[in-house]
Amino acid sequence: MQPQAHDWLQDFERHLAHERRLSPHTLGNYRRDLRAVAAFCDDQGIDHWTALTQQHVRMLASESHRRGLGGRSIQRRLSALRSFCRFLIRERRIHANPAQDVRAPKSPRRLPHALDVDQVNRLLDAPAGDWLQQRDRTLMELLYSSGLRLAELVGLDLDDIDLEAGEARVTGKGRKTRIVPVGARAAAALRAWLGLRAARCPPEQRALFINRSGGRLGASGVQKRLKGWARRHGLPVRLHPHALRHSFASHLLESSGDLRAVQELLGHANLSTTQVYTHLDFQHLARVYDRAHPRSRRK
């Protein structure tokens, strides 16, 4: 593509970083997807974004599918292109969005993996030895207690936790903040952890969870430690931080049946995202239906 076309991509990245204030991870996803689109344009002899048509975008989706890319990944690529084109329209560089009505082929919806209650108890009741294991158990308690995403967990600062009120302030996707409850077990673990933490990092460090060097604990560190913890304590699954978030959601829905409340606690923008958990408790929902619907009971 022409140099000006690449300049427009850089303008869009600055827009995402400074106006929309997206996380580095999300920015990286946009960058990879749009570079893939630019490579497709080069292959097709399309030298500028102004020459891209809806037919080209359909070809992009078809070619991506032919090369084995899943429907979810193709949809993300098209979504990135739609956002980019909306930006170009706003900047009056193009007049229409060629990706607007193009959809990716549907792929089977993968159900989230959740631990059962016995597995969670075995995980969280296991004895912790040194201060690092105490930290690990505390962050697992918090993940399960409050349904946090991994990025939300590692982004927590001391000021975000209010143990007296039993709540935490977390920053989720799109820089949106929400207040989540912190259960009694998690609060007790946090109090113990704060005492250990104070002796292992400088006073100016505000991160709630720290690494061996006293710096902020990163996402990859959490992932590695949780896999090791599950292996040591005999869990027959690969433990990922998101499994505890899924377990939080499914167990809460199982007990309450309140999908809207679970949506709010998880920080989902759309209820459809939360509805993936309903399969985990269909028997409970069926019982509610049989008990409550006026025409569900047989005479």
Integer Cα distance of 44 and 56 in angstroms: 9
Angle at 206 between CA 205 and CA 209, to 5 degrees: 95
The residue from 137, 225, 251, 277 that is catalytic is 277
Phi-psi region of 167 (alpha: psi -120 to 50; beta: other; left: phi over 0): beta
Is 268 part of the annotated catalytic residue set?
yes
Is 15 part of the annotated catalytic residue set?
no
Is 30 part of the annotated catalytic residue set?
no
In terms of Cβ atoms closer than 10 Å to its own Cβ (0-12, 13-18, 19+), residue 221 is middle
Q: For helices 259-266 and 241-256, give the axis angle rounded to 10 degrees.
A: 150
Q: How far is CA 286 from the centre of its chain?
A: 29
Is 95 part of the annotated catalytic residue set?
no
Is 149 part of the annotated catalytic residue set?
yes
Angle at 194 between CA 192 and CA 196, to 5 degrees: 75
The residue from 173, 185, 200, 233 that is catalytic is 173
Q: How far is CA 259 from the centre of its chain?
A: 18
The residue from 77, 135, 137, 149 that is catalytic is 149
Is 245 part of the annotated catalytic residue set?
yes
Please give the positions annotated as active site.
Answer: 149, 173, 242, 245, 268, 277
